Amino acid sequence: MRVIGIETSCDETGVAIYDSEHGLIAHRLHSQQHLHAKYGGVVPELASRDHIRRLSPLVKEVLNEAGISMAGIDGVAYTAGPGLIGALLVGASFGRSLAMACSIPAIALHHMEAHLLAAMLEDITPRFPFIALLVSGGHTMLVLVEHVGSYTILGETLDDAVGEAFDKTAKLLGLGYPGGPLLAKLAENGDPQRFEFPRPMTDRPGLDFSFSGLKTFTMNTLYSSDNGGIPADIACAFQKAVVDTLVIKCRRALRHTGLNQLVVAGGVGANSLLRESLGYMTDQEQADVFYPRTEFCTDNGAMIAYAGCLRLQAGQHEPLIISARARWSMDTIPSLAK
């Protein structure tokens, strides 16, 4: 089965084709980062309009890359939520209509499920069950994954998502958007001994997170310091605190469940210090850690095409309606377990 996947939940337009026999056969991404950079964050209306402009050319490009026409496609998968509602509606309307015009089935997907399954696109993949750490701009969760669609949320953020905390802290430090990678780059030149930031909620039991206090701590540190070289030192201390917090909670989740596989997904999964520290921790715990390749940590069409293929192969598809949900709990996703 060949499935075309469409991602438009935020500021990236992603289109890809996944073939159940040959794997990923084409993928393209258009990032809107430059469009939003001057506003310091995503402007939803601009995002929707740009998705409209980009989708059709990207679909043509992936079909060319795969050397097929729509006649060679068996299903359409699109992100239906969670995300920016206007942006989601562009992908959902386009995807549902494309499927109808070609008389093929369509499947509406949960964006975080697709992130969680992206590690399956690599050569060495985890086996069910495993723990997933989802760290994106809008979500921070630890999930027990028993099967495709069987998700138990073990812990989540009570306020800011990790990516959001990176972006807001980067803004405080005068960096551009999106701030995560820029803050990580700045941190490379920082003095790790200069400041010690708190590791929020690690001194109490449980697997929930809270990152908004770190942002305030950063602000206070920034405004109470007047020496040179401060932003890099602050970036370094902030990143170390976030990474340590995530590592402590991941270790706890592995011990709690007795599982020995950890999958990391979402934009912050591209962070080098996080990867290095989780590698060290999982070695100590005799566990394995899996990631999608860096380009599939952030939003992309490949994860949508793959997750869509799994669901369409299992016989699921959408009625002839266009639906998108800005908010959508992972608990309510239908399971594919027999």
Q: Does 137 bind ligand KG4 (CB under 6 A)?
A: yes
> What is the b/e burial string over 40-68, where b = at least 16 CB atoms within 10 angstroms of the residue's CB?
ebbbbebbbbbbbebbeebbeebbeebeb
Q: Does position 270 bind ligand KG4 by CB under 6 A?
A: yes
* Binding of residue 167 to ligand KG4 (CB under 6 A): yes
Binder among 48, 136, 239, 261 for Zn ion (CB under 5 A): 136
Q: Which residues are paired to 221 by β-bridges? A: none
Q: With contacts defined by CB under 6 A, how many residues of the chain interact with ligand KG4?
A: 19
* Strands of the chain, DSSP E: 2-7, 12-19, 23-31, 75-81, 106-110, 130-135, 140-147, 150-156, 261-265, 288-290
Using rule CB under 5 A, residue 299 touches Zn ion: yes
How would DSSP label each residue in 96-123?
A: HHHHHHTT--EEEEEHHHHHHHGGGGSS
Nearest-angstrom CA–CA distance, 290 and 190: 28
Closer to ligand KG4 by Cβ: residue 37 or 101: 37
> Binding of ligand KG4 at residue 163 (CB under 6 A)?
yes
167 binds, among ligand KG4, Zn ion, none (CB under 5 to 8 A by kind): ligand KG4
Q: Work out whether 308 is an interface residue with ligand KG4 (CB under 6 A).
A: no
Nearest-approach distance from CB 294 to ligand KG4, in angstroms? 8
Collapse the DSSP code of 5 into the 3-class scheme (helix H, G, I; strand E, B; otherwise coil) and give the result. Answer: strand
Q: Is 298 in the site for ligand KG4 (CB under 6 A)?
A: yes
Q: How far is the CB of 160 from Zn ion (least distance, A)?
A: 16
Binding mask 97-136 for ligand KG4 (x = CB under 6 A): ---------------------------------------x
Contact status: 13 vs ligand KG4 (CB under 6 A): no
CB environment 315-327: b (16+ within 10 A), e (fewer): eebbeeebebbee
Cα–Cα separations (whole angstroms), residue 76 to 7, 62, 112, 224, 308:
11, 13, 18, 54, 7
State which of positions 170-189 bind ligand KG4 (CB under 6 A). Answer: 178-181, 184
Does position 266 interact with ligand KG4 (CB under 6 A)? The reply is yes
Question: 229: which strand partners?
Answer: none
User: If contact means CB under 5 to 8 A according to the sort of partner, which of Zn ion, ligand KG4, none does residue 270 touch?
Assistant: ligand KG4
Cα separation of 29 and 8, whole Å? 10
Work out whether 13 is an interface residue with Zn ion (CB under 5 A). no
Query: Parallel, antiparallel, or unpaired for β 261-265 and 288-290?
Result: parallel
Does 138 contact ligand KG4 by CB under 6 A? Answer: yes
Q: Is the peptide bond before 178 cis (omega within 30 degrees of 0)?
A: yes
Give the residues lining the site for ligand KG4 (CB under 6 A).
Answer: 10, 136-138, 163, 166-167, 178-181, 184, 266-268, 270-271, 298-299
* Contact residues for Zn ion, defined by CB under 5 A: 136, 299
